[in-house]
Each structure stands twice: as C-alpha cells, then as structure tokens.
Amino acid sequence: MWYRKLKVFSGNMEPAADDENFEVWLEQITEMMALWQVSEAEKRRRLLESLRGPALAIMRVLRANDEAITVRQCLDALKQIFGNKEDCRTSQFKFLQTFPQAGERNSAFLLRLEPLLQKAVQSSPLSARSTDTIRLKHMLARTAATPALRGKLELLDQRGCPPTFLELMKLIRDEEEWETTMAVTREKQGQVGRSRRASDRQDGEESSVPAPQAPAAPQEGLFQDSSTQTVREGMGLAMKRSRSSSCSGGEEEELSQAVGPPGVSPPPAKQRPQLSVEESGNELGAGAMSHPEP
C-alpha cells in the first residue's frame, strides 16, 4: 500500500497551524492502519511520526512501560486522554434530538446523523445489527421520504433486514436522483406546453386581425353623377345667360336644344328641312299663305 503522510496531532492547548483536531486525526489514523499491510512495529513507527508535543510524550511513556504495546492500545490511551469527555447518555440524547434541517436532503441528513450514532453506541454493548436497526428506525421517524422510498424502508424494517449505512445511503441517493430526473422532465414538458400555447395564441391574434384592403377603385357611377351634375350646372348658367342677353327667342331655343338635359338626343336630321320650310313661310309675312300645287 502506498504510504501517505499522516496528519499531525500535538494535544497542545493552543494548537499550531498544522495541528488537526483529535477527532479528525483519529479517524484518519484508524482508516490508514486498517489499510496498511505492514508489521505492527512499522505501524507504531508511522503513528509516532504523526505526533507532536504532549501526545508524543505520552506515547513514549507508554512504550517505555510496554515495548510490545499495539497500535490499538495506543489509540485507546490517546482517546481516553484527548478524546471527547461526554458520556454515553449525552451522546444518545444528541442523537435522538437530531432532526433534518429545512430544505436538507435525506442523504445529507444521513451523513450528519452517522457520527452522532457512532458516538451514541460507542460505549454501549450494541452490535452492528442493532446499530443498523436504530439508524433505519430513526430515518423513518424523522425524515419525509417519498412514498416509493418509504415503502422500501418499511418493508426492510418489517422483515427484520435493516440495511447498513452504505446500503441505506445508496437507496436514498437512487431515489433522489430519480426525483431530480422527473422534475427536470416535468419542467421541460411545461416549457414546451407554454411555448405551444403562446404560439397558438399568437396565431389566433394574427387570424383575427383583418387583412389590409386596397383602396377601392372609383366607381363609374360617381363619374356619371359628377358629369351629370356638371352638365346640369352648365345648362343652368347657359339659361341665365340667355335670359340676360338680347338674343332672340329662336336663338334661345337653339341654345336650349344644343345644351339639353343629359340623355336627350338632338332632333333627327330629317326634320331640319321641315323647320326651314316653316321659317321660309314666316318670311313671306304675317297672314301670307302658299297655295297648294295642283
């Protein structure tokens, strides 16, 4: 196993910048000692390398009294001196009074709960199976799980097969990932539905707006009315001029016939000789008559 330098613990009242908290240091030492495939003497040597100050002085005293002391015995001695002094009842009370925070996921709550559980059962004669049962029951009582997850956990509890810490964490995280995926899917469907409704509303507004119409072409009737009115006005002016002028009655008649009302055609050409005959007869004088031919 590749050797990794351990964190430093001194046990001073005023720790230095590179000193670790005893709980953090103890957790790393315990993990690494289980991984290293070396002799007990090599483990003791590496343990002494990570100690400074009062902690190192205590370890030297212990080795002077017992050369064959194991790493586990050294850690237990350091735990009694520098470890947390709270008793078993206090640890159990802290564990039982731990609740999820607002908006906290179940997986995060489980991570925060596990150290308190380990401290609560540290000084009690509980087995690992009892610890799993306590963890499962606490999660069922304190957390608001989804119906699917709660059904799985209740089934495990009824069968008396409580999951370990890692198994329970996997169940919770799988359910959280599923819920996240479903939430994203629902959000995408909602966005598609909103965009579709907005497009339909826009199409409806465009269809309700009347199309712009080209300006209507002037109708023939308007031109006819205007031309008729113009002709009538011209006729009226001509009549007024004929009344005020000193023209003879025949000229007035010719003027009125020339500028007649619209739609009245001038007299046929064949009547003109008859009018000329009558005029020639009038020129013979009043009372003159022409004799009929035999």
120-179 pLDDT per residue, tens: 887 677 766 789 999 999 999 999 988 999 999 999 999 999 999 999 999 999 999 999
Q: Which of 38-52, 224-238, 243-257, 274-288 has the highest mean pLDDT?
A: 38-52
Q: Which of 23-27, 35-39, 113-117, 283-287 has the highest mean pLDDT?
A: 113-117
pLDDT at 208: 64
DSSP codes, the chain: ----PPPBB---SS--TTBPPHHHHHHHHHHHHHH--S-HHHHHHHHHHTB-HHHHHHHHHHHHH-TT--HHHHHHHHHHHHS----HHHHHHHHHT--PPTT--HHHHHHHHHHHHHHHTTTS---HHHHHHHHHHHHHHH----HHHHHHHHHHHHHT----HHHHHHHHHHHHHHHHHHHHHHHHHHHHHHHHHHHHHHHHHHHHSPPPPPPPPPPHHHHHHHHHHHHHHHHHHHHHHHHHS---HHHHHHHHHHTPPTT-PPPPGGGHHHHHHHHHHHHT-TT--PPPP-
Where exactly are the structural domains of the chain?
A: 22-82, 88-180
Q: How confident is the model at residue 234 (pLDDT cuts 50, 70, 90)?
A: low
Question: What is the average pLDDT across 99-126?
Answer: 87
pLDDT at 284: 41
244-267 pLDDT per residue, tens: 444 444 444 443 444 444 444 445
Q: How confident is the model at residue 187 (pLDDT cuts 50, 70, 90)?
A: confident
**pTM (2 d.p.):** 0.45
Q: Which two tokens stand for residue 220?
A: 């023939």
Q: Round to whole Å and give the CA distance between 112 and 101.
A: 11
Mean pLDDT of the chain: 74
pLDDT at 241: 53
pLDDT above 70 coverage of the chain, percent? 66
Q: Round to whole Å and give the CA distance between 1 and 3.
A: 6
